[in-house]
Amino acid sequence: MAQFMDVHTTMIGVTSEALAEAHQSDLNIQGEEGVTFHQAWADPKTGHVFCLSDAPSAEAVQRIHERAGHPADEIHEITVTA
C-alpha cells in the first residue's frame, strides 16, 4: 500500500472543528476505496490543509475527498522518508 500526502488550498479560515468534521467525512467512507486517512493538518491563514493517507492509488484518495465534498488540489505519493 502506498502512502500519500494531499493538499487542499482553498480552506482559508478553517477552524479546528471544521477540519475535524471534514476529516470525519473522509473517515466515514474511506473503506469503500481501500484508503486509510491518518491525520490532517491546517493553516487557516493560507487555507492549506494537508492529509496523510495509505491508499491503493492517488485516484482512490481523490475519489474519497470528492465524495466527502472537498477535492484535493494536489496529491503526492511519499516514496522517500527520513
58 — pLDDT class (breaks 50, 70, 90): very high
Burial class, 17, CB count within 10 angstroms (exposed 0-12 / middle 13-18 / buried 19+): exposed
66-81 pLDDT tens trace: 999 999 999 999 999 9
58 is in which domain, residue-wise?
2-78
Write 13-17 long-range contacts (CB < 8 A, 24+): 13/44, 13/47, 14/42, 14/44, 14/47, 14/49, 15/44, 16/42
Count the domains in the chain. 1
Entry pTM: 0.95
Please provide the average confidence, as pLDDT, over all residues in the chain. Answer: 98
Residue 10: predicted pLDDT:
96
Burial class, 1, CB count within 10 angstroms (exposed 0-12 / middle 13-18 / buried 19+): exposed
Rounded to an integer, the average pLDDT of 21-26 is: 98
Q: Return the CATH number at 16.
A: 3.30.70.3090
